Structure 1
Amino acid sequence: MSEQRYPMAPLIRFTLVSLYLALVFPLPWLAPSNMQPWLIGALPVGFLLVWALVSEEVSLNEAGLQVGYPRWCSWLLRRGWSLNWDQVTGLTPVATSQGGRVFYVRTEDGSAYLLPQRVQAFEGFLAQFSQKTGLDTRSIGRISPPWTYQLLAGLCLAMLVFEAMVGWALLSGRWELPAASLG
């Protein structure tokens, strides 16, 4: 088996990036004028950090699996792990507070590593993992169903459209923000 890479699922990546943009993009224009340059400068830095965080990927090969980040951001996000296939001894399900289940990969030395459940081609990833480890992965599903990310993505897009409309109205002079009362 040649190395196979499984990046974060595009729907999840898009949703998280659009959530960042929807929540943070209007802040510089709502802030006091002395803070605006700092916040405008922080926008691209924050965007790069979010983009780095959603760039996590899983690599599988004959020797084992590795979870980490691409070279362009791995120096910043050193979190990650790798295991040889013969080190994997089991899977432990753990219930989440939202009603889902995550799984930890157990090793012979008693360590546990979070099994990635937000990867693209998740079923293919699980099939490869099961084939190499001999573990039954049929009960493993995504952390949350796709409709939750679809709903959140739709809400983020609606927020971005609304923010763009308000921005256009303010810039074109069709609307003015009410003066804040200092009382």
Structure 2
Amino acid sequence: MLSESQPSSYSVFHISPLIRITLLAFYLALTIPLPFLASAAAAPLPSEVLWVGLCLGLFALWGALSERVIVDEEKIQVVYPFWFPSFFRKGWFLSWAEVKDLKMRTTGQGGLVYYFVSKSSDRAYLLPMRVVGFARLVGLIENYTGIDTTDIRPLSQPWMYLILLGFTLLLLLVDGWTIWTAISLGLVA
């Protein structure tokens, strides 16, 4: 929630719904079968414990994917919902006057990410790249800092998440068929 001292002109950027839906569905596709497999295999860990763990993991993922980027004339900040514990992920803010540069780094998968470098400290702040309106965000950064942002592109393209979503839906279908078969054969209580 924005404070009353928040300037009247600000922009809020949320993580793309395509990315949120894809990652939540992928999490569910990978984890939902586990309690059923534990029950069918008579694992020493009760399936109820797995259900609790899966719910906690879903809560943590939902909170992390609820990140918002708020930009105004004075600063850029990354915030999370009030209900999301800060020990999972902490937000940050950086005033435009403190921005020294945007530095590019390569990821382990060969992608490019950018970090804000602060003038007063050695801290670096990751530029959020999976937000709706990324081009507008980059335009605001260039406007407020004067840093040339013409070469900055999103980390991943929408088609990558569409492909992952397609395979995730296929995996969910297989999961559903497997769970239904196990239940109908009496392998799962």
Q: Is TM (by shorter chain) over 0.5? A: yes
Once the two structures are overlaid, the 10-residue window that deviates more, 110-119 or 82-91, is 110-119
Letter in 2 for 1:80: G
Shift of 1:42: 2.1
Q: Does 1:65 align with 2:72?
A: no
Residue among 51, 74, 85 paired with 2:96: 85
After superposition, residues 3-82 of structure 1 pair within 5 angstroms as: 3-31=10-38, 32=42, 34=44, 35-82=46-93
Residue 147 of structure 2 is aligned to residue 135 of structure 1: yes
Note if contact 1:8-1:56 (Cα within 8 Å) is conserved in structure 2. yes
With structure 2 as the length reference, what TM-score do the two structures score?
0.85
Determine the C-alpha separation between the residues in 2 that align with 1:107 and 1:41: 41
Aligned-residue offset at 1:97: 2.2
Spell out, residue by residue over 1:98-148, the C-alpha distance to the aligned partner (whole angstroms, 9 max, x if none): 221111111212432111111111111111111111111110111122222
Which segment drifts farther, 34-43 or 93-102? 34-43
The structure 1 segments of at least 4 consecutive aligned residues displaced by more than 4 Å after TM superposition are none
- State how far apart, in whole Å, the 2-side matches of 1:51 and 1:149 are: 17
**Aligned residue pairs: how many?**
175
CA–CA distance in structure 1, aligned partners of residues 85 and 75 of structure 2: 20
The aligned amino acid for 1:27 is L
Q: Does 1:116 align with 2:123?
A: no
Report the more deviating stretch, 162-171 or 64-73.
Answer: 162-171
Q: Identity percentage over the alignment?
A: 37
- Return the alpha-carbon distance in structure 2 between the equivalents of residues 112 and 2 of structure 1: 26
151, 156, 176: which one aligns with 1:144: 156
Could you tell me which amino acid in structure 2 is paired with residue 134 of structure 1?
A: G
Work out whether residues 36 and 179 of structure 2, in 8 Å CA contact, stay in contact via their aligned partners in 1.
Answer: no
Instruction: Work out the CA distance in 1 between the residues paired with 2:95 and 2:115.
Output: 15
- Alignment deviations for residues 32-84 of structure 1 (CA, whole Å, 9 cap, x no partner): 36521111222222211110111111111121110121112144535121011
Gaps of 5+ in 2: 1-7
* TM norm structure 1: 0.87
How far the C-alpha of 1:176 sits from its partner, in A, is: 6.5
**What SS does the aligned partner of 1:117 have?**
coil
Unaligned runs of 5+ in 1: 178-183
